């Protein structure tokens, strides 16, 4: 299958052979952390490929190719760093009913220090302490309830979340969550440079992981009644949005001091299914891609709906804002990609 490169001013610039047509491409990602001229493709054949863009074209051969042996529907996540959005531009979203601390957190993990493992050896974690300078990617693992962290440069698996127990099996609480369906890898300012991962699971739960404590998540919360299909964190990692196969969009805070989820708002949908979520880099608006062929726009500060975009004629599977917050791209199973200019930021 062809991996198509797009520029906002020129669509269909070039094509490059990326993954087998029999399997197709699950996702394509890029980030300033890996450079402006590099892109990652994830195939349904279980491979991740790391590409250079040379003169507007994909390099003939990838920089590296990773055979993950993972066959699933979970899109990879490149590591994200906190945005440089100023406090004046970015305001903590306000819930008219006041913030509510999640009541169903996994208290055995959150509050019982005897069950929280000690950080691993300095030698093992040395790479993670400098992950701002490394190209890491998080994916659902060969064991579908696990998350795997890979180094794109070396094509080596760094760690798994959670790790296997001494007898080689996974903890029963991990298995009960089912498959990992969505991941967001990020480096909060409170973590001293160590990697964190937010993951959504088949049973509707969301877990917050710290690579220094890979045996158990920091906490777990179940916001959905169906599999979580999409997660997105805001530019400062103060909160985020989750979407699922149910009829809910959930907005929440991440309290890094108390280490807990704080529920913000529950948005009821007329029709179920959210495939993708994107929060604009300035932290002001968010977009969702729905199974009902619609792109929905929300005020991220307050959670109220702003617009419904009706262009696609089939299931919408991805939305993404441009780095300058001026454009929104949406894609669909109808084989179209749409570019939208809405609520542009003031210069």
Token digits for 117?
Answer: 């493992």
User: Residue range 125-141: average pLDDT?
Assistant: 68
pLDDT of 16 higher than 60: no
Q: What is the pLDDT of residue 163?
A: 82
Weakest-pLDDT range from 5-14, 159-168, 201-210? 5-14
Residue 229, Cβ density class (10 Å: 0-12 exposed, 13-18 middle, ≥19 buried):
buried
For residues 323, 324, 325, 327, the Cα torsion angle rounded to the nearest 10 degrees is -90
Distance between CA 217 and CA 1 in Å, rounded? 37
- The number of residues in the chain equals 347
Lowest mean per-residue pLDDT among 25-39, 93-107, 269-283, 291-305: 93-107
pLDDT in tens, 65-98: 998 888 888 999 999 988 645 444 445 544 434 4
What is the average per-residue pLDDT within 4-26? Answer: 57
303-328 burial: b if 16+ Cβ within 10 Å, else e: beeeeebeebeeebbbbbbeeebeeb
pLDDT at 17: 63
- Could you tell me the pLDDT band of residue 135, with boundaries at 50, 70 and 90? confident
Contact 157, 67 (CB under 8 A): no
The pLDDT of residue 73? 84
pLDDT tens readout for residues 96-118: 344 333 333 343 344 333 333 44
User: Above 60 in pLDDT, residue 278?
Assistant: yes
- Report, as an integer, the average pLDDT of 136-141: 93
pLDDT of residue 128: 54
Mean pLDDT across 178-191: 94
- Does position 266 have pLDDT exceeding 60, yes or no? yes
* Helix/strand/coil (H/E/C) assignment for every residue in the chain: CEEEEEECCEEEEEEEECCCCCCCEEEEECCHHHCCCEEEEEECCCEEEEEEEECCEECCCCCEEEECCCCCCCCCEECEECCCCCCCCCCCCCCCCCCEECCCCCHHHHCCHHHCCCCCCHHHHCCHHHHHHCCEEEEECCCCCCEEEEECCCCEEEEEECCCCCCCCCCHHHHHHCCEEEEEEEECHHHCCCCEEEEEECCCEEEEEECCCCCCCCEEEECCCCCEEEEEECCCCCEEEEEECCCEEEEEEEECCCCEEEEEEEEECCCCCEEEEEECCCCCEEEEEECCCEEEEEECCCCCEEEEEECCCCCEEEEEECCCCCCEEEEECCCCEEEECCCCCCC
pLDDT of residue 173: 66
């Amino acid at each position: 299958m062809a991996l198509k490169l797009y520029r906002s001013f020129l669509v269909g610039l070039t094509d490059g052979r990326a993954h087998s047509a029999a399997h197709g491409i699950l996702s394509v990602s890029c980030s300033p952390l890996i450079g402006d001229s590099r892109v990652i493709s994830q195939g349904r054949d279980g491979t991740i490929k790391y590409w250079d863009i040379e003169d507007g074209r994909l390099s003939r051969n990838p920089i590296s190719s990773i055979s993950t042996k993972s066959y699933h529907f979970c899109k990879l996540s490149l590591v994200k760093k906190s945005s440089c959005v100023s406090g004046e531009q970015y305001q903590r979203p306000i819930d008219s009913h006041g913030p509510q601390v999640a009541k169903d957190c996994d208290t055995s993990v959150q509050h019982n220090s005897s069950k929280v493992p000690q950080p691993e050896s300095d030698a093992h974690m040395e790479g993670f302490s400098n992950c701002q300078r490394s190209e890491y990617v998080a994916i659902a693992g060969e064991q579908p309830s696990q998350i795997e962290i890979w180094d794109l440069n070396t094509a080596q698996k760094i760690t798994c979340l959670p790790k296997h127990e001494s007898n080689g099996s996974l903890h029963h609480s991990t298995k009960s969550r089912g498959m990992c369906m969505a991941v967001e890898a990020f480096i909060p300012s409170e973590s001293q440079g160590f990697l964190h991962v937010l993951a959504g699971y088949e049973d509707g739960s969301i877990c917050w992981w710290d690579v220094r404590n890979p045996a158990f998540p920091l906490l777990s919360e179940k916001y959905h009644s169906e599999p979580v299909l999409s997660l997105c964190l805001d530019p400062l990692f103060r909160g985020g949005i989750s979407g699922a196969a149910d009829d809910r969009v959930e907005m929440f805070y991440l309290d890094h001091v108390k280490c807990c989820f704080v529920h913000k708002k529950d948005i009821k949908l007329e029709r179920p299914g959210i495939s993708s979520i994107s929060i604009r880099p300035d932290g002001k608006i968010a977009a969702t891609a729905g199974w009902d062929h619609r792109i929905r726009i929300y005020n991220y500060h307050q959670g109220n709906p702003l617009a419904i975009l009706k262009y696609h004629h089939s299931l919408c599977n991805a939305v993404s804002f441009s780095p300058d917050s001026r454009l929104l791209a949406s894609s669909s199973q109808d084989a179209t990609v749409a570019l939208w200019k809405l609520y542009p930021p003031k210069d």
